Amino acid sequence: MMHHYIYKTPKKERTLPKVLSNQEVEALLDFDGTDSLDLRNKAMLETLYATGLRITELLSLKVNDLHLLMGFVRIIGKGGKERIVPLGQHAKNSIEEYVEHARPELIKQNNTDALFLNHRGKPMTRQGFWKILKIIARERGIKAELTPHTLRHSFASHLLENGADLRAVQEMLGHADISTTQIYTHVSKTRMKDIYQNYHPRA
């Protein structure tokens, strides 16, 4: 008689994404420079935090994906799936300012409909964006470990912490599967525990 042994492989622990605190987000988005690169950087970061886009989605935005009057942006996400994501007032304002005052200066003689451009007037690359983000974080004294997805993670868990509906957040993030979005409920629980430890007199 043959024994069939079923070996269960341990589920790979999903590491919880790093999330910025509200103060760190504020520090990251605190721009007072007015040259075209400052306006562009502010618009990129505000948009990321306001929409939770993936970096590739942010950088593939075209000017006519913006619907600023209605206050949303159209994304073509993974697998060519389209979604509509609301823009907050801050992101809307900083995109308007960038499109009006900075993008015309950056574009030079180039012919591109990419929304975000580098200093040579070409579409911003992942590497370029990543370098900018690290410099800004260092300047602002943000010690948290950043990844290209940190603002996306922060967007999701801040929404859930403030009571947003899981399905709505799934839709905004463009997750095919709600279990992916559920990671963020764990993040906010861990954060709640930290907050409790830090602030409750009898913790």
Tell me what pLDDT residue 101 has.
96
125: in domain: yes
Tell me what pLDDT residue 104 has.
96
Per the structure, how many domains does the chain have? 1
Range of the domain at 177: 22-197
CB 37 within 8 A of CB 45: no
Predicted TM-score (pTM) of this structure: 0.86
177: in domain: yes
188: in domain: yes
CA distances, 80 to each of 74, 77, 176 (Å) = 12, 5, 12
Helical packing angle, 36-51 and 89-97, nearest 10°: 150
CATH code for position 122: 1.10.443.10
Cα torsion 24, 26, 28, 34 to 10°: value is -160
Residue 82 β-bridge partners: 76
**Any catalytic annotation for residue 78?**
yes
Q: What angle do CA 172, 173, 174 make, to 5 degrees?
A: 90
14: in domain: no
2: in domain: no
List the structure tokens of 106.
């950056």
**Any catalytic annotation for residue 167?**
no
**Any catalytic annotation for residue 3?**
no
8: in domain: no
**Any catalytic annotation for residue 54?**
yes
6: in domain: no
Looking at 18, 149, 186, 189, which residue is catalytic? 149
Residues of the chain with pLDDT under 50: none
**Any catalytic annotation for residue 184?**
yes
CA distance 115 to 10: 44
Tell me what pLDDT residue 202 has.
86
Tell me what pLDDT residue 193 has.
87
Tell me what pLDDT residue 78 has.
84
Mean pLDDT estimate for the chain: 90
CB 62 within 8 A of CB 117: no
- Determine the 3-state secondary structure of 66 from DSSP: strand
Cα torsion 173, 22, 73, 61 to 10°: value is -80
**Any catalytic annotation for residue 122?**
no
Looking at 54, 103, 153, 158, which residue is catalytic? 54
17: in domain: no
CA distance 180 to 119: 36
List the structure tokens of 81.
């799936």
